Amino acid sequence: MRLLTLNCHSWQEENQIKKLQHLAETIAANDYDVVALQEVSQKETSEIVDGVIRKDNYGLLLQQELKKHGKDYSLSWDQAHKAYDDYEEGLATLTKHPVKKVQSHYVSSSKDYHNWKTRIVLQTDIEVECNIYSFFNCHFGWWGDEEEPGSLQLQRLIDIIPTEHPAFLMGDFNSEASKEGEGYSYLLANGLYDTFVEAQDKDQGITVPGRIAGWDDNAEEKRIDFIFSNQNYQVSYSKVIFNGKNKNVVSDHYGVDVKIAKEAL
């Protein structure tokens, strides 16, 4: 099973359509099973075309672009909050497998669309060879935030992870892997496995090169985008993608490309 997570910073990038096309080309070529995207936006004034999805939804346009490459991916999207003045920002999950369930979970105390700190997790359950897998698409706040602590958001996530079948947590956790006593170590302490750590082949794992939106005072490279699992899988590799070395840069974050080799050990 091959997985991709990327905070795509949609509609805030220069040459946005060209970058979207490059992302679609790469997804099609790599034939990912599941793609989890964060900061997937649409103009709040655009025409609604399907449920809550508007015609300029970044995930929808990516899905349409994938069809040009002969790839039929289903799209799940839900909004979390308003961003950049006039955008509805949310999470999008694409998969080529049958979808059995889609559900959004508020993990922030706030459910106010106008509060940019409002956070959801998008759960998509798929069926692969008669087995059910849950994928949780995540974009969390910061661990010590006084208004909306990421610590409480992660606790709420832990409470909804199923134990009866495999689950993967994918996304931008806004928590440094190298920082003890915060989000990353909290997830490991609660029995989750970092596929980067378990990978037989890996790079440095850096997903942000320095100063980006939300990390304005940061000048250091960080690993804050992850793919976790609730079972200890044999992982063939974990590689950073869209970093200028492995595919062109498409966002202020780099992506994480993981291949799961076998069922849980």
Q: What is the pLDDT of residue 218?
A: 54
Residue 32 to residues 4, 88, 108, 134, 161, Cα–Cα distance (Å): 7, 26, 30, 16, 23
Give one DSSP letter per residue of 34-62, joined into a string: EEEEEEEEEETTSPEEETTEETT-HHHHH
Residue 152: partners with Cβ closer than 8 Å, 6 or more residues away: 107, 109
The token duo for 247 is 């595919």
pLDDT, tens digit (0-9, with 9 covering 90-100), for 210-244: 655 555 565 588 999 999 999 999 999 999 999 99
pLDDT of residue 6 exceeding 90: yes
**CA 255/CA 262 separation, integer angstroms:** 22
Q: What is the pLDDT of residue 220?
A: 80
pTM of the model: 0.95
**CA 139/CA 199 separation, integer angstroms:** 23
Q: What is the band of 246 on the pLDDT scale with cuts at 50, 70, 90?
A: very high
pLDDT of residue 168 exceeding 90: yes
Is residue 156 classed as helix, strand or coil in its secondary structure?
A: helix
The token duo for 154 is 């992660």
What number of helices (H) and strands (E) belong to the chain? 5, 15
| DSSP conformation class of 190 | T
The H or E element containing residue 26 is helix 16-30
Exposed e or buried b per residue across 36-53, where buried means at least 16 C-beta atoms within 10 angstroms of its C-beta: bbbbbbbeeeeeeeeeeb
**Sign of CA pseudo-dihedral 25, 255, 158, 155:** negative
pLDDT, tens digit (0-9, with 9 covering 90-100), for 36-78: 999 999 999 999 999 999 999 999 999 999 999 999 999 999 9
pLDDT, tens digit (0-9, with 9 covering 90-100), for 74-130: 999 999 999 999 999 999 999 999 999 999 999 999 999 999 999 999 999 999 999
**CA 102/CA 145 separation, integer angstroms:** 29
